[in-house]
Amino acid sequence: MSDTIVSLPDQSTARIPKVNFITKENGLLSWLLTGDHKRIAILYMISITFFFFIGGAMAGLIRLELLTPQSDLMATDTYNKVFTMHGIIMIFFFLVPSVPATLGNFLIPLMIGAKDLALPKINLLSWYLYVAGGILAIYTMATGGVDTGWTFTVPLSTHYVNTNVLTTGLAVFIAGFSSIFTGLNFIVTIHKMRCPGMTWFRMPLFCWAHYAASILMVLGTPVLAITIVLVALERTIHIGVFDPATGGDPILFQHLFWFYSHPAVYIMILPGFGVISETISTFSRKRVFGYTAVAFSSVAIAVFGFFVWAHHMFIMGISNYSMLVFSLLTMLVAVPSAIKIFNWTFTLFKGSITFETPMLYTFGFIGLFTIGGLTGVFLGAAGTDIHLTETYFIVAHFHFVMVGGMLMAFLAGIHFWWPKMTGRMYPEKISQLAAVVTFIGFNLTFFPQFILGTLGMPRRYGAYPPEFQVLNVFSTAGATILGVGYLLPILYLTWSLKYGEIAGNNPWQATGLEWQIQSPPLTENFAVTPIMDHEAYDYEWLENQKEKEVASVG
């Protein structure tokens, strides 16, 4: 048995197909005015990477400041601005669009056998809105920043701070529309554009996960929009909806804000789940165990996700009964997430597992997400939450889920579909190294923060008591390693654009429709509309296809 499933065409004769979506038209305008979902995905990928590194630089500054107990690298209000911008950029300009807008955009039409997303112009518009929002956010940063934390807590954001709340709010508002349009496009496409034979239960789980995330984008984001509008009105013309002086209630802001922002964490993680379903099946050569359960668990997460928001508010003065109910509902969300983890693990059972880079990231995801998810149960239980909330425990928890989970899934996906997107393989050895470095760096950065949190170190301060320094030094050292882990892919993926091996149609021997066409694909994706005549992840069907090909060529 070989230790890899990679099967590349003979490198001496293989060529990248002359006609593909990248070479079809040339010039900057052909990209900026494109309606092609694959090109828009590439545009998104470039801009998202850009914002990721800005957000990452902010994270670096935060960790550097926390190297010593005194607040000595920057003034305390600068520190507030840095962590606020880190949060805003990473959440609204990286995590929310990361997998859906790049991989989802690229792959959903390919996976369901469509020529494009249903609304190509809306798709392009969503990218422009994203860029406009992003530029506004950077402008905000350059002209004084904002220091409310990414949560825009009132009355701090409406009455007290003197920073760029309005422009930042506008940036998030605009980016929100970009997210709504992406979600709307996916829902319409998945409903109306599936090729003949592509029933709901033949779709790859990637599409199910994106469908569920899209529902959240479409239903949640407008509530954030109206919340931001109310904050803006309160700041500018002093209406009193959240202002206690007139009888308004700041808690209402929290309810409205978290009604979006809790589902938003599922917007961020669900597409990651989709990626993991694909990689785990491909690299263990088995159909995902319990396909239907995994598909419905995505939808269940989307539904439950809307009923747990108040667990962010246990210390904000909601009633004991709300605490009880929301605590219980929060525990319920653990069920569909656990269904996924168990099913993936069962998929591995007796599979022919190989350890290519996407699979390494996938293993990283499963381990880190499980830790992140289980510490979420600590926080969902109202009693322990009161001790742990607003400490580094919560910071570690959501970084395990978002960075350890989503970012790992994003990198798994980028590596997995890189050959499809570019036609070339990434270099295997160094990328395996990057995956391991990321995993080590990540654990070193964020695991000490769990301990810091239980010891009582509060979040959002630039200074801390000296006894916490050892663990903070660990964390900062880990962040350095993590930084290397993220820089490496940028370097070797760029390198591979020119020097990578030619990938051929299906380097992983995967079963999805996207792997049955040339890489990079044609602008219209499929020369003839495909007909789906088998279940998803049917490796026997793939073997038969190969035999048929050999027979017809021979």
Partner 1 sequence: MSDSTAIAHATPNDPHAGGHEAHPAYLRHHFENTEQQADAAGFAMWIFLLTEVMFFGGLFTAYLIYRNWYYPAFVAASHQLDIFWGTLNTAVLITSSFTMAMGVWFAEIRKQSGLVLCLVLTFILGLGFLGIKTVEYKEKIEKHHVPGFHYSLQSFLDPDSDAEAKAAGDKPLPLDMARHTEVYFSLYFAMTGMHALHMIIGIAILGYMIFRARAGAYTTGHVTFVENFGLYWHFVDIIWIFLFPLLYLISRHPNI
* Chain residues that interact with partner 1, rule: CB under 8 A: 33, 35, 114-116, 118-122, 180, 184-185, 187-189, 191-193, 218-223, 225-227, 229-230, 233, 237-241, 246-249, 252, 256, 259, 524, 527, 529
Q: Would you give the DSSP letter of residue 391? A: B
Closer residue to partner 1 (CB): 114 or 402:
114
Helix pair angle (408-422, 37-65), 10° resolution: 150
Q: How far is CA 509 from CA 5, 17, 130, in A?
A: 7, 19, 35
Distance of CA 453 to CAs 63, 187, 254, 373, Å?
A: 16, 40, 23, 16
CB of 525 to partner 1, least distance (A): 9
Closest distance to partner 1 from the beta carbon of 227 (Å): 6
How many angstroms separate the CA atoms of 411 and 195, rounded?
29
Residues 6+ apart with CB under 8 A from 119: 181, 184, 185, 188
DSSP code for 341: H
Closest CA to 16 of 502, 419, 508, 420: 502
Give the nearest distance from C-beta 111 to partner 1 in angstroms.
15
Please tell me the distance from the alpha carbon of residue 339 to that of residue 164, in angstroms, as a whole number: 43
Residues in contact with 99: Cβ distance below 8 Å, sequence separation at least 6, in sequence order: 271, 272, 274, 275, 406, 409, 410, 413
For partner 1, the closer of residues 189 and 476 by Cβ is 189
In the bound complex, what is the minimum distance in angstroms from residue 40's beta carbon to partner 1? 13
Where do the H-state alpha helices sit in 143-249? Answer: 165-192, 205-236
Nearer to partner 1, 455 or 522 (CB): 522
Nearest approach, Cβ of residue 180 and partner 1 (Å): 6
Of 118 and 411, which CB lies nearer to partner 1 in the complex structure? 118
3-state secondary structure of 94: helix
- Of residues 74 and 252, the one with the C-beta less far from partner 1: 252
Shortest Å, Cβ 438 to partner 1: 36
Read off the amino acid at residue 437.
V
- Nearest distance in Å: CB 242, partner 1: 9
Q: State which residue, 19 or 491, has the beta carbon closest to partner 1.
A: 19
DSSP string, 509-531: ---SGGGGS-SSPBTTB-SS---
CB nearer to partner 1: give 115 or 287. Answer: 115
At closest approach, how far in Å is the CB of 269 from partner 1?
Answer: 21
* Single-letter amino acid code for the residue at 294: V
Nearer to partner 1, 247 or 554 (CB): 247
Peptide bond into 419 cis (omega under 30): no
Cα 119 to Cα 97, 192, 198, 319: the distances in Å are: 17, 11, 20, 45
- 223 versus 394: smaller Cβ distance to partner 1: 223
Residue 392 Cβ vs partner 1, minimum distance, rounded to whole Å: 32
C-beta closer to partner 1: residue 246 or 352: 246
Which residue, 248 or 405, is less far from partner 1 as judged by CB? Answer: 248
User: Residues near 256 by Cβ (< 8 Å), separated by ≥ 6?
Assistant: 223, 224, 226, 227, 230
Using CA atoms, how far residue 278 sits from 203, 294, 333, 335, in Å, is 11, 12, 22, 21
- Smallest separation (angstroms) from partner 1 to the CB of 419: 24
What's the closest the beta carbon of residue 235 comes to partner 1, in angstroms? 11
Q: Which is nearer to partner 1, 225 or 394 (CB)?
A: 225
Q: How far apart are CA 65 and CA 75, in angstroms?
A: 10
Coil, helix or strand at residue 471: helix
* Residue found by looking up tokens 């002359």 in the block: 18
* Cα-to-chain-centroid distance, residue 365: 12
**In this complex, which beta carbon is closest to partner 1, that of residue 193 or of residue 532?**
193
Tokens in use for 383? 């009693």
Strand partners, 424: 502
Amino acid found at 261: S
Dig out the tokens for 190 from the structure: 């998945």
Residues 6+ apart with CB under 8 A from 369: 269, 341, 400, 401, 404, 405, 408
* Shortest separation between residue 163's beta carbon and partner 1, angstroms: 21
- From the CB of 25, what's the least distance to partner 1, in Å? 9
In the structure encoding, which two tokens stand for residue 551, read together? 């027979």
Residue 455: CA count within 13 A, CB half-sphere = 15
* Least Å from the CB of residue 31 to partner 1: 14
Residue closer to partner 1, measured from CB, 238 or 546: 238
